[in-house]
Structure 1
């Protein structure tokens, strides 16, 4: 993947994670944060497997999905 697209994914991930702190509805926070964390996982994979980025964000994706499914 081209470095420009990889950087775009990283910036999108940062935007979604920061934006999740602005929201007030917990469900929306979890959805937006999940999108950001998922983008960080993709970014980490496309950046030659940056495990310190992939592992915590992968775990956070699981946490967000767990809470979204538990509340439904």
Structure 2
């Protein structure tokens, strides 16, 4: 993947993370944050396996998915 596209994915990730702090609805916050974290994982992979970026964002993805799934069950 070209480095320019990878940079755009990183910028998109940042926008989604910041946007998640602006929202008030918890479900929307989790979904938007999840999208941002997925983008950061992709960014970290295609930027040369940046483990300090990949690992925490992958963990946050699983946390967000867990909370979204358990919230639907309630």
1:52 aligns to what?
A: 52
- Consecutive unaligned residues of structure 2, counting only runs of 5 or more, are none
- Consecutive unaligned residues of structure 1, counting only runs of 5 or more, are none
- Normalised to the residue count of structure 2, the TM-score between the two structures is 0.97
Structure 1: 4+ residue segments shifted above 6 A: none
For residues 4-36 of structure 1, give each alpha carbon's deviation from its aligned partner in whole angstroms, at most 9, with x where no partner exists. Answer: 000000000000000000000000000000000
- Rounded to whole Å, the distance in 2 between the matches of 1:19 and 1:71 is 21
Q: Output aligned runs, 1:15-54, within 5 Å.
A: 15-54=15-54
2:70 aligns to what?
A: 70
Matched pairs, number: 72
